Amino acid sequence: MAKEAKNKKENKHFWKDFKAELKKVIWPTPKQLVNNTVAVITIVLITAVIVFALDFTFEKMNTYGINRLKEVVDSNHNNSNEVEENTNANETTNEQAPEVTANEEVPASENVSE
């Protein structure tokens, strides 16, 4: 029972102190409240616009950069394919062309240099 009485006394003391502290608070006037609210909303909106602009800009830069990278990779890939095709074509041409030694004459129909 002694503990219950002590808890009740502490609760009363807590609420009494709580009320006393709330009386010390300087509450804003309605005009100050409106001014502060408008200031906070304005700052939030300005920040939102800045974040949106930066996000949009970086997204466009990233998209352009990725597309540019794809073009570079594709052009390099196409160039390497062309080189391989040219190499394969040259090998095929060399296999079909008769071998000429220094002592043989090349027939006029096979003389490519003309």
Any domain includes 18: no
What are the E-state strand segments in 3-103?
Answer: none
Any domain includes 46: yes
Any domain includes 102: no
Q: Is this prediction's pTM over 0.75?
A: no
The pLDDT of residue 95 is 56
Any domain includes 54: yes
State the residue range of the domain holding 58: 28-86
Any domain includes 21: no
Q: How many domains does the chain have?
A: 1
Any domain includes 3: no
Separation CA 108–CA 74 (nearest Å): 43
Any domain includes 66: yes
Separation CA 87–CA 69 (nearest Å): 27
Q: What is the mean pLDDT of the chain?
A: 80
Any domain includes 105: no
Query: What is the arithmetic mean of pLDDT over 92-104?
Result: 57
